[in-house]
Structure 1
Amino acid sequence: MEPRAADSCFLGDVGFWVERTPVHEAAQRGESLQLQQLIESGACVNQVTVDSITPLHAASLQGQAQCVQLLLAAGAQVDARNIDGSTPLCDACASGSIECVKLLLSYGAKVNPPLYTASPLHEACMSGSSECVRLLIDVGANLEAHDCHFGTPLHVACAREHLDCVKVLLNAGANVNAAKLHETALHHAAKVKNVDLIEMLIQFGGNIYARDNRGKKPSDYTWSSSAPAKCFEYYEKTPLTLSQLCRVSLRKATGVRGLEKIAKLNIPPRLIDYLCYN
């Protein structure tokens, strides 16, 4: 397909608006030897398709770490955005490739790019990669990044029932009662009917009485006599103990990276374990 005149305008350092190139194909398929030969022959590593996808996007989305390394070393733009606004780091997180994530971060990829769409942390939560979630948080990912469709990363992890990711987020200080159109993570847990998820959120201070934009509590999304409904009924009749309330309050006060602060407290190890939900 020949590019139209409007599509063939030069775009600074990123080359031309083109269809997928051999560099894109090699990067996506993980053909590192062919990619190396293309680079050595002078192929542009920053050419974009009509939807602004670079070879680095293609390699990252498929978790092709060796190709990601080759492209970055050849000068690929680490924070290039596609038509949806996603960066290669977003795509690497979507693939769940911790190796690609580490490579991109080592070349300066922004962990909190100025996006109005899903952040890298959202994407890691969608893919269910708790390892990627933990790494992003360690390098400063915004726990409360908000996407107009998905809400916060915690909303995403709960909607996808990725319990390991939920635990990592909550331990890092994510707001358990953050709202998306007044809908909390607990509403998501009720909708997917996951009792373990409901229990976890409540233990971290999830408000069972929070109402969404339809005026419904999380329990209103459960079937009568079902396990999730019985779980909510139990906590409505049996409030959290004083020790649990103190734990929730202290964890809230410690904020982001609370576990690091708690570990330094001059209190018995048993209490530290309790505060860390061990």
Structure 2
Amino acid sequence: MEIEHMQPYFFGDIGCWVERTEVHKAASLGQASQLQHLIQSGASVNLVAVDSITPLHEACLRGQAQCVQLLLDAGAQVDARNVDGSTPLCDACSAGSLECVKILLEHGAKANPALTSRTASPLHEACVGGNSDCVELLIAMGACLEAYDLYYGTPLHVACVNEHTNCVKVLLNAGAKVNAARLHETPLHHAAKNMRVDMIEVLVEFGANIHARDHHDKKPVDYTTPGSPSAACLKFYETTPMSLQQLSRLAVRNKLGTRALKVIGQLDVPKLIIGYLCYQ
């Protein structure tokens, strides 16, 4: 195998560490023919470069689906960890490559790898980039909606911080806890800070507590600019009681939790009611 520096400079439990190999380069650049040639010539697909980056990490970071398939077929470790603890699935979600995510999951990638103090889950990574298709697929594969990142909180927090309303809708409809808190800070606090009226409305419709106070003893409205649309929206919700219809929907959804969409779809009630309960 052709390697820039043939002598490894460290040998540990996870294998031989080398400088970036030709396999890494081909995987990163999407050079499928070159990668296939290297593999057929006996090149290892599991050598790790600096920061424990494998060729599979490189391919996933850049959404090179064909190379991802070749590497996995050649025996690449699907849940290999880099120095930050991220798996290739985390990288594929970060890149927003639905095709890579599908391939990895088909090859047994863990939707819920163990988290460390430096690691975000694949679902967190998908929410950072607003990749709602990846979010939907991960949830369908059992991704934990309440996976907790020390810096950001839950995936719902991350989606709100990064202003991705589509991801917020997907998470909430799947049963994510709308009032999950990190240092008493809820997703609604983040939506208010970002002055996102659309996101505020979605969160409140799913039962967000407009009176929740964070570690600074501030409510969401306290983070808005007086007289702004977001401030007016929150003030309206503070002074206007929810309708019985809305309260009933929240009661049903809270009772069913993450089973809501599946169970509601099986109810023998008019489609209009089903659509309402499913926020359609």
Q: Deviations over 1:23-45 (max 9, x none)?
A: 11110110111111111111110
Match of 1:247 in 2: 249
Match of 1:132 in 2: 134
Deviation at 1:133, TM superposition (A): 0.5
Aligned to 1:24: 24
Residue 97 of structure 1 is matched in structure 2 by 97
Equivalent of residue 178 in structure 1, options 166, 177, 180? 180
- Sort the Cα spacing of 1:21 and 1:269 in 2 relative to 1 into closer, same or farther, 3 A: same
8 Å contact from structure 2 (residues 7, 18) kept in 1: no
1:192 is matched with which residue? 194
Q: Which runs of 5+ in 2 are unaligned?
A: none
TM-score by length of structure 1 reads 0.96
Distance 1:70 1:90 in 2: 19
Question: Counterpart of 1:176 in 2: which secondary structure?
Answer: coil
Aligned residue number for residue 214 of structure 2: 212
Q: Which sits farther off after the overlay, 14-23 or 229-238?
A: 14-23
Moved more, 256-265 or 132-141: 256-265
Q: Which amino acid aligns with 1:182?
A: H
Please show how residues 1-278 of structure 1 align to structure 2 within 5 Å: 7-9=9-11, 11=13, 14-116=14-116, 117-278=119-280
Give the residue type in structure 1 aligned to 2:63: G
> 2: CA distance between counterparts of 1:151 and 1:169?
14
Task: Tell me, in whole angstroms, the C-alpha distance in 1 between the residues paired with 2:160 and 2:182.
Answer: 13
Q: CA separation in 2, counterparts of 1:26 and 1:257?
A: 43
Q: Read off the aligned partner of 1:68 and give its amino acid letter.
A: V
Q: What do the CA deviations read for 1:113-164 (whole angstroms, capped 9, x no partner)?
A: 1113210000111111111100000010000000001110001111111111
TM-score of the pair, normalised by structure 2? 0.95
Whole-angstrom CA distance in 1 between matches of 2:206 and 2:91 = 30
Q: Secondary structure at the match of 1:257?
A: helix
TM-aligned CA deviation for residue 15 of structure 1: 3.5
1:225 Cα deviation from its structure 2 partner: 0.4
TM-superposed deviation, 1:178: 0.4
Aligned length: 275
Query: What RMSD over aligned residues (CA atoms) do the two structures have, in Å?
Result: 1.4
Gaps of 5+ in 1: none
Report the more deviating stretch, 268-277 or 163-172.
268-277
Q: Residue 59 of structure 2 aligns to a residue in which SS?
A: helix
Change in Cα spacing, 1:15 to 1:75, as seen in structure 2 (3 Å) is same
Counterparts of 2:151 and 2:197, CA distance in 1: 24
